[in-house]
Amino acid sequence: MHMSKKWMLALVFIPIMSFAQRNVDAIVDTVESKNGTVLLFRNNTWEYIDNEPVMMSIEEDSTGIFSNQWINDQIFAYRIQRDSIKDTLLVLVDSIHPFHMPICGHLFRGFTYTHKGLDIKLDKGDTVRAAFNGVVRYAKYNRGGFGNLVIIRHYNGLESYYGHNSKLLVRVNQVVKSGDPISLGGSTGRSRGPHCHFELRYKDIPMDALRVIDFDNQKLINSFFPITKKVFYPNDYNVNTVYHKVKNGDTLGHLAKKYHTNVKEICAMNKIKSSTKLRVGSTIRVR
């Protein structure tokens, strides 16, 4: 194993949920076995580190980011309402926490009420990379539509999702750096062609990644980002919101076609069902 990796292990591999005391100075190497990663100690003892709760340095987890709701077998760990999240300021990058585009490709679908991320075109087998430094919380096939999915929790509390991969290159509890390969692109799950479905979430609540990333220039808009209720489902606060006054003969299908959207999106914005009958003279949001 390279010395840089050994140094990283010595720094970060301290269990924070069990609070088991491990003498990191006694670690001399790691070995990959068929049963998982093994730590080797100077006194010729060893132990497995797979399937432990995530392990970070005391400094990195001073706020409890990794010890709180660290769940490896489900995509959503917090299950809280967005209105319960307090305003805070996230530092996205600094001298030791850089940013890297997950994949450089054509953005063909963005964030909406019914689509919580960015769809970025790629070819099957293209390398998908970690956007920020962090630790892999979830890495397996997801039957909910994501296909082969990687979720990375970052040091500021954000989580990034990378879906529809053809192959996963990381495992749960693995420390990754910005730009590290984490998967190969594909079209698994509910997908109509090879692409990376990329999401940013804060405590499970999705936010429009284009409020953080300048996609055209492949960089962050700012090195920090304020978390307020307006960043979640930001269309709720969009100054370009469009409303339609229902006329005789209007249907949801007709309005979806007229305003270049879809019935599912209109229903989500207005909290109605597709079977809802429109009342003449009422106002309905269409964009």
Task: Note whether 261 and 211 are same-domain residues.
Answer: no
Q: Is residue 193 part of a domain?
A: yes
Per-residue model confidence (pLDDT) at position 115: 82
Q: Is residue 176 part of a domain?
A: yes
Per-residue model confidence (pLDDT) at position 146: 96
Task: Note whether 33 and 174 are same-domain residues.
Answer: no
- The H-or-E segment that residue 136 falls in is strand 134-142
Q: Is residue 60 part of a domain?
A: no
Distance CA 53, CA 56 (A): 10
Sign of torsion, CA 65 97 24 46? positive
Residue 2: CA count within 13 A, CB half-sphere: 3
Task: Note whether 16 and 137 are same-domain residues.
Answer: no
Domain count for the chain: 3
Task: Note whether 96 and 211 are same-domain residues.
Answer: yes
Task: Note whether 122 and 206 are same-domain residues.
Answer: yes
Task: Note whether 183 and 210 are same-domain residues.
Answer: yes
Task: Note whether 102 and 158 are same-domain residues.
Answer: yes
Q: Is residue 64 part of a domain?
A: no
Structure tokens belonging to residue 276: 């809802």
Task: Note whether 109 and 210 are same-domain residues.
Answer: yes
- The H-or-E segment that residue 90 falls in is strand 88-91
| Residue with token string 């019935």 | 263
- Look up the pTM and report it: 0.70
Question: Can you list the residues of the chain whose pLDDT is less than 50?
Answer: 1-22, 24, 51-55, 57-59
Per-residue model confidence (pLDDT) at position 8: 39
Q: Is residue 73 part of a domain?
A: no
Task: Note whether 103 and 33 are same-domain residues.
Answer: no
| Structural domain span for residue 274 | 243-285
- The H-or-E segment that residue 195 falls in is strand 195-202
Structure tokens belonging to residue 32: 């990959």
Q: Is residue 267 part of a domain?
A: yes
Q: What is the CATH number of the domain that holds 89?
A: 2.70.70.10
- The H-or-E segment that residue 162 falls in is strand 158-165
Per-residue model confidence (pLDDT) at position 19: 28
Task: Note whether 129 and 205 are same-domain residues.
Answer: yes
Per-residue model confidence (pLDDT) at position 265: 80
Q: Which amino acid is at 49?
A: I
Task: Note whether 261 and 161 are same-domain residues.
Answer: no
Task: Note whether 29 and 92 are same-domain residues.
Answer: no
Q: Is residue 67 part of a domain?
A: no
Structure tokens belonging to residue 285: 């949001």
Pairing between β-strand 195-202 and β-strand 205-207 as defined by DSSP bridges: antiparallel
Structure tokens belonging to residue 263: 């019935």
Q: Is residue 215 part of a domain?
A: yes
Per-residue model confidence (pLDDT) at position 25: 53
DSSP 87: P
Per-residue model confidence (pLDDT) at position 228: 82
